[in-house]
A and B are shown apart, each in its own frame.
Chain A
């Protein structure tokens, strides 16, 4: 591993010049929030959360798919936020998979059906490349003592072309439509 300090008003230390990067890609994953932390962040005023599972009728599911232009599964788990007897809204946790990434996110939907906020729970880069990543991990393990870089370093960041969050946006749109549909069919949300 090569090191080079760049003369600049800020500090940049090159770990590996890009031109000689040759090792297979490592895993890159960040866990941001647990489901419990996310629901508390989305509904800080809630006193409790009730986990309920709902199944969309096939006709409803197909109609949502047609309207959204997105696949919609039938089974949904909602975390219903409550304060006393009052339902404040629901939190839905879902995954979206991009070309090389998998994102787990929580969407808070208020009792009025409006989107409260989206919080990312976890981000994993390079899904599908696990075999290559495993080899790389083995190579890297012995170097952790002398290197400030560690596999799974808790603050490592990734730089690259903008990662499109289109999948997350679609996922949020789907959740809003599903919650709305459940509410219309009489679900106590």
Chain B
């Protein structure tokens, strides 16, 4: 039997360092590299579709549009905005893709499989930072995984965008970073699922509107896919409830832990 090798690549993307990897038999490294290239392409497509900074994205188009404007969404933007709208309802308004600029000022409508968005006020702005990175990880993972399966290389692959991680048919050892003191601890082993970790505290990069930020805390959520683990970290961080009822509804598990280890 041929020994499985890990093929790993990393690039700067999604504002962080992203790793794509696969464990394949030693003689299938080329197929794994080409599957990883497919993953990079899907990641770049998702990033372009959801970025508020790309003038061609639906998000930028919505933000620049006048009140009353309506237009059809790309499939990527439609999926993420439908999930955002659902999470807004389910969380009683805690998860807000407008970051307080007008939670009720946008709406989605579906017709014949297409989804369109309507803007109801000039001031409302969309920001998919709380869910888009997880979605981009899912897209990259799906492309990588499909390409590996197509080349008969199995499904032992993963995508890690720092705080957002998705693993396929592989026992992936996960370390947790100490955000204050540096270093990383062996924490869990993930398989066929996603894990998102956010860190909140003074000077931290992740921020929540309406949350206390005078103490350090990590929020981690494991879920079947990364879009939900990413988005649900915000609900857990805002409520401080690692057993929030929404978690079970999405098949998720959460942890609240200190930002650094004593």
In the complex, are the beta carbons of B193 and A21 less than 8 A apart?
no
Contact B184 A160 (CB under 8 A): yes
B94 proximal to A (CB < 8 A): no
Is B15's CB under 8 angstroms from A164's CB? yes
**Count of A-B residue pairs with CB < 8 Å:** 211
Q: Is A13 an interface residue (CB 8 A)?
A: yes
Which among B17, B174, B186, B257 is the interface contact of A120 at CB below 8 angstroms?
A: B17
> Which residues in B have their C-beta under 8 angstroms from that of A164?
15-16, 205
Stretch at the interface among B61-69, B77-85, B106-114, B157-165: B157-165
On whether the beta carbons of B183 and A126 are closer than 8 Å, the reply is yes
B210 contacts A by Cβ under 8 Å:
no
- SS of A interface (majority): loop
B179 neighbours in A (Cβ, 8 Å)? 160-161
One digit per residue, 1 when the CB lies within 8 angstroms of any chain A CB and 0 when it does not, for chain B 177-197 equals 111011111111111111111
Q: B45-78 CB contact bits vs A (8 Å, 1 = yes)?
A: 0000000000000000000000000000000000
Evaluate whether A155 and B193 lie within 8 angstroms (CB atoms) in the complex, with A12-B188, A24-B183, A125-B183 already known: no
Q: Does A30 contact B (CB under 8 A)?
A: yes
User: Chain B interface secondary structure, helix, strand, loop or mixed?
Assistant: strand
Count chain B residues whose beta carbon lies closer than 8 angstroms to a beta carbon of A: 64
CB-defined interface of B193-233 with A at 8 Å, one 1/0 digit per residue? 11111110000111000000000001010111000000000
Q: Which of B5-13, B95-103, B115-123 contacts A (4 or more CB under 8 A)?
A: B5-13
Q: Which of B163, B175, B255 contacts A161 (CB under 8 A)? A: B163
A129 within 8 A of B: yes
Instruction: Check A68 for interface membership: any CB of B closer than 8 A.
Output: no
Binding site for A on B (CB under 8 A): 6, 8-12, 15-17, 19, 21, 23, 133, 158, 160-163, 165, 170-179, 181-199, 204-206, 218, 220, 222-224, 251-253, 255, 257-258, 261-262
Show the binding face of A for B, using Cβ within 8 Å.
6, 8-16, 18-19, 21-26, 28, 30, 32-33, 99-100, 103, 105, 117-120, 123, 125-129, 132-133, 148-149, 153-165, 168-169, 172
The 5 lowest CB-CB distance pairs between A and B, nearest first, are A25-B183, A10-B193, A160-B177, A161-B199, A100-B182
